[in-house]
Structure 1
């Protein structure tokens, strides 16, 4: 029973819960970015390149053939179009994370740079300033 309680305490700590939420949101965000790249970014690029669908960009290493046993052997292809789409996905996600971290850092700097009110001078210093001012008069 003690180990179960330890695990519950560990799992309910803020960092673990925050990490779980971040992973779930990150997965959903990845799907959104993939859809954005596949459905919005890549089609216009394909049209600009002469109607190319990036999913169809492949290099065939070996054509499909029928083996002596009669089994159909599928073609071996390099799908570099999918790779290009995944690179674009990565670049967009990396850029968004960069912007988020930059925003967080600038917020932290603004809080650190906020000037604190100067501390009130001690009573002895105030009295000495008053005496100095009286002597000047």
Structure 2
């Protein structure tokens, strides 16, 4: 069992996933700070100083915190947009070879290529 676990843990995909989760967590903290400390106060100023996180509605003994819900929705859209920009930024660093699709040969083209190679080999033997 230890041997199987070692094979699993050393696989490249597991390491990549772990790095992705760690970086994603740190990135999430940065975006949350951006939303809470910069974006939301500015939005609050634009709509007259309203703080979304404090908005709630008492319904009997239950308190519905719709402001926290609005905050979470805004967080989601900002995080999604940030991830979109992040991925788009790193796609530009790909080499041009990685971006070009690899051409696939049809059966006819494969056959013609084989014939060409055979003819070349035959000509080289004659000379």
TM-score by length of 2: 0.68
TM-fit CA distance, 1:104: 4.4
SS in 2 for 1:77: strand
Where structure 2 has 5 or more consecutive residues not aligned to the other structure, the ranges are 101-116, 121-127
Alignment match of 2:69 (pick from 83, 86, 95): 83
Point out the structure with max Rg over C-alpha: 1
Residues 8-54 of structure 1: per-residue CA shift (max 9 Å, x gap): 11011110011011111111111111111111111121122121111
SS in 1 for 2:53: helix
Alignment of 1:13 with 2:11, yes or no, is: yes
Give the equivalent residue in structure 2 for 1:65.
none
CA distance in structure 2 between the aligned counterparts of 1:85 and 1:104, rounded to whole angstroms: 29
Q: What is the aligned length?
A: 102
CA distance in structure 2 between the aligned counterparts of 1:21 and 1:48, rounded to whole angstroms: 39
Larger RCO of the pair (alpha carbons < 8 Å, separation 6+): 1
Where structure 1 has 5 or more consecutive residues not aligned to the other structure, the ranges are 63-74, 114-121, 125-137
CA distance in structure 1 between the aligned counterparts of 2:85 and 2:96, rounded to whole angstroms: 16
CA distance in structure 1 between the aligned counterparts of 2:50 and 2:87, rounded to whole angstroms: 35
Give the equivalent residue in structure 2 for 1:32.
30
TM-score by length of 1: 0.64
**4+ aligned runs moved over 6 Å, structure 1:** none
SS in 1 for 2:59: strand
Residues 90-122 of structure 1: per-residue CA shift (max 9 Å, x gap): 111111222233344455583244xxxxxxxx9
